[in-house]
């Protein structure tokens, strides 16, 4: 018994010594390093890849060593200018609202231009309307759960994309069935237990013969643009008697994957293609103005070149593209050339958003993270692990609120999250 007591005393003394050492370290400012989540830094091994990372032949191209230097923790001090604020202040984004009501992956989301309201679109064939100020405490975390106010039903397949009108009264969605629906948004104080109103669906645009990948709204012309797996980009006047205005194609580039209006020139738009290149079109004539070609650092196969998302800068003639090969690329639309290319994530970059001031870029990836980038110097100022993987996919969409300090992400795990 005496020996057992001695052993216990020695163990207790060791524990006390370790605790004293920790407290001393904290007192002098020594903080143990926290290892990043393996889900972020070690993407799942794919066919043809070595050790779960990039293919051996791509190591030099991707430069993952440089990417590691860009990674910062979630306590990074990032100056972020609110549209309503004249002075910048230090801000780090943290998750506050969790939106959990969809039964399958959330493919897209969009904010109301003024209210704390957003709409999500899902593989479960529905859209849902959320008011962030109608919350309940989450069971297992400090965040708040939000109950959906309204569920939009009408699509016959997974809803792949959506966008909202600049006035905030209408929402447009498109699905694998090729149909674009126009919805009149219910009021944000609607009772979520009211019955479904079929009159909310105010128009349907038919013309595409395959899945519609992306939608965009022209803020001045009140026009809608769509791109589809049928190989076409179409321009619409959604509420006129003849809604289809024009159809655009690029035979040498294949299928369009994303599209956006050029913000500083009202008569142009840019479409991204499976070729890995982009084409600038004249809206009136339908003719190609210029072709934005990616540089030689693009992988020499279709999968690597694939562009998931294209967004145009709100103030400058700049287009930004997100690629399967983990790159983000920047194009000068006026000069018709690529001006910058960088490895941005550890897996395919799937989504992009630029804040209304044109200062920051938000990117989402299948590596489960969203990253905030300073557009001036192209550096990452914050990284957040946001969603879990499902079938090797993670984040489908990211968004900035046009007028409020919110960002949001949508994931394959059937969740949408809002950060403040």
Q: Is residue 179 part of a domain?
A: yes
Q: Is residue 209 part of a domain?
A: yes
Give the pLDDT band of residue 346 (cuts 50, 70, 90). Answer: confident
What is the structure's pLDDT at 50? 34
pTM: 0.73
Q: What percent of the chain stands above pLDDT 70? A: 71
Residues 304 and 260 in one domain: no
As a whole number of angstroms, the distance between CA 168 and CA 45 comes to 43
- Identify the weakest region by mean pLDDT among 218-222, 285-289, 314-318, 375-379: 218-222
What average pLDDT does the segment 348-362 reach? 91
Q: Which residue has the higher pLDDT, 233 or 136?
A: 233
Residue 309's CATH number: 2.40.10.480
Residues 248 and 144 in one domain: yes
Residues 116 and 248 in one domain: yes
As a whole number of angstroms, the distance between CA 420 and CA 411 comes to 18
Give the pLDDT band of residue 10 (cuts 50, 70, 90). Answer: low
Residues 180 and 322 in one domain: no
Is the pLDDT assigned to residue 393 strictly greater than 60?
A: yes
What is the structure's pLDDT at 210? 92
What average pLDDT does the segment 268-287 reach? 89
223-228 vs 233-236, strand pairing mode: antiparallel
How do residues 167-213 score in pLDDT, each as one tens digit? 888 899 999 999 999 998 887 666 655 655 667 888 889 989 999 99
Cβ contacts of residue 13 below 8 Å, gap of 6+?
none
What is the structure's pLDDT at 143? 63
Q: Is residue 56 part of a domain?
A: no
- Identify the weakest region by mean pLDDT among 10-14, 86-90, 281-285, 331-335: 86-90
104, 416 contact by CB (below 8 A): no
How do residues 411-420 score in pLDDT, each as one tens digit? 888 888 888 8
- Name 145's bridge partners: 98, 136
What average pLDDT does the segment 335-344 reach? 87
Residues 321 and 376 in one domain: no
Total number of domains in the chain = 2
Q: Is residue 404 part of a domain?
A: yes
Q: Is residue 48 part of a domain?
A: no
Is the pLDDT assigned to residue 86 strictly greater than 50?
A: no
Residues 212 and 107 in one domain: yes
Is the pLDDT assigned to residue 77 strictly greater than 70?
A: no
CA distances from 239 to 114, 152, 162, 193, 281 (A): 23, 19, 17, 30, 23
Residues 260 and 356 in one domain: yes
What is the structure's pLDDT at 37? 38
What is the structure's pLDDT at 264? 78
Q: Is residue 35 part of a domain?
A: no
Last residue of a domain, one of 287, 312, 343: 343
254, 231 contact by CB (below 8 A): yes
What average pLDDT does the segment 18-38 reach? 44
As a whole number of angstroms, the distance between CA 412 and CA 390 comes to 6
Residue 273: phi, psi to the nearest 5? -130, 165
Q: Is residue 397 part of a domain?
A: yes
Residues 136 and 253 in one domain: yes
What is the structure's pLDDT at 192? 56
What is the structure's pLDDT at 11? 59
Residues 302 and 247 in one domain: no
Residues 232 and 381 in one domain: yes
Query: Which residues span the domain enclosing 403?
Result: 78-265+351-419
306, 324 contact by CB (below 8 A): yes
Taking the CA atoms of 98, 102, 103 and 107 in sequence, report the sign of the dihedral they define.
negative
Q: Quote the tokens at residue 230.
A: 């049928």
Residues 277 and 394 in one domain: no
What is the structure's pLDDT at 93? 84
What average pLDDT does the segment 99-120 reach? 89
Q: How many CA atoms lie within 13 A of 372 on its CB side?
A: 30
Give the pLDDT band of residue 82 (cuts 50, 70, 90). Answer: very low
Is the pLDDT assigned to residue 398 strictly greater than 70?
A: yes
Last residue of a domain, one of 343, 359, 375: 343
């Amino acid at each position: 018994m005496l020996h057992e007591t001695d052993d216990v005393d020695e163990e207790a003394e060791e524990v006390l010594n370790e605790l004293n050492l920790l407290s001393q370290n904290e007192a002098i400012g020594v903080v143990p390093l926290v290892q990043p989540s393996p889900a972020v830094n070690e993407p799942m091994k794919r066919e043809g890849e070595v050790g779960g990372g990039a293919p051996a032949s791509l190591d030099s191209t991707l430069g993952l060593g440089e990417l590691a230097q860009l990674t910062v923790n979630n306590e990074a001090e990032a100056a972020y200018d609110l549209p309503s604020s004249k002075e910048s202040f230090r801000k780090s984004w943290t998750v506050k609202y969790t939106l959990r009501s969809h039964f399958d992956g959330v493919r897209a989301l969009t904010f109301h231009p003024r209210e704390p309201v957003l709409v999500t679109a899902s593989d479960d064939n529905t859209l849902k309307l959320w008011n962030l100020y109608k919350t309940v405490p989450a069971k297992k975390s400090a965040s708040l759960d939000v109950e959906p106010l309204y569920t939009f039903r009408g699509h016959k397949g997974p809803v792949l994309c959506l966008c909202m009108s600049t006035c905030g009264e209408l929402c447009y969605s498109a699905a694998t069935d090729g149909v674009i629906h126009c919805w009149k948004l219910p009021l944000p104080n609607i009772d979520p237990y009211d019955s479904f109103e079929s009159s909310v669906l105010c128009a349907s645009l038919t013309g595409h013969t395959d899945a519609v990948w992306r939608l965009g709204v022209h803020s001045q012309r009140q026009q809608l643009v769509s791109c589809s797996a049928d190989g076409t980009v179409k321009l619409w006047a959604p509420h006129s008697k003849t809604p289809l205005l024009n159809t655009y194609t690029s035979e040498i580039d294949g299928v369009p994957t994303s599209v956006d209006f050029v913000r500083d020139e009202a008569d142009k738009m840019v479409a991204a293609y499976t070729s890995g290149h982009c084409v600038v079109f004249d809206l009136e004539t339908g003719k190609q103005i210029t072709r934005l070609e990616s540089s030689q650092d693009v992988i020499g196969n279709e999968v690597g070149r694939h562009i998931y998302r294209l967004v145009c800068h709100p103030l400058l003639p700049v287009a930004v593209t997100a690629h399967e090969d983990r790159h983000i690329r920047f194009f000068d639309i006026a000069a018709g050339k690529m001006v910058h290319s960088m490895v941005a994530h550890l897996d395919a970059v799937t989504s992009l958003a630029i804040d209304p001031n044109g200062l920051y870029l938000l990117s989402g990836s299948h590596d489960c993270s969203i990253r905030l980038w300073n557009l001036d110097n192209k550096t990452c100022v914050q990284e957040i692990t946001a969603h879990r993987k499902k079938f090797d996919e993670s984040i489908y969409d990211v968004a900035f609120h046009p007028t409020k300090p919110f960002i949001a992400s949508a994931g394959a795990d059937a969740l949408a999250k809002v950060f403040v």
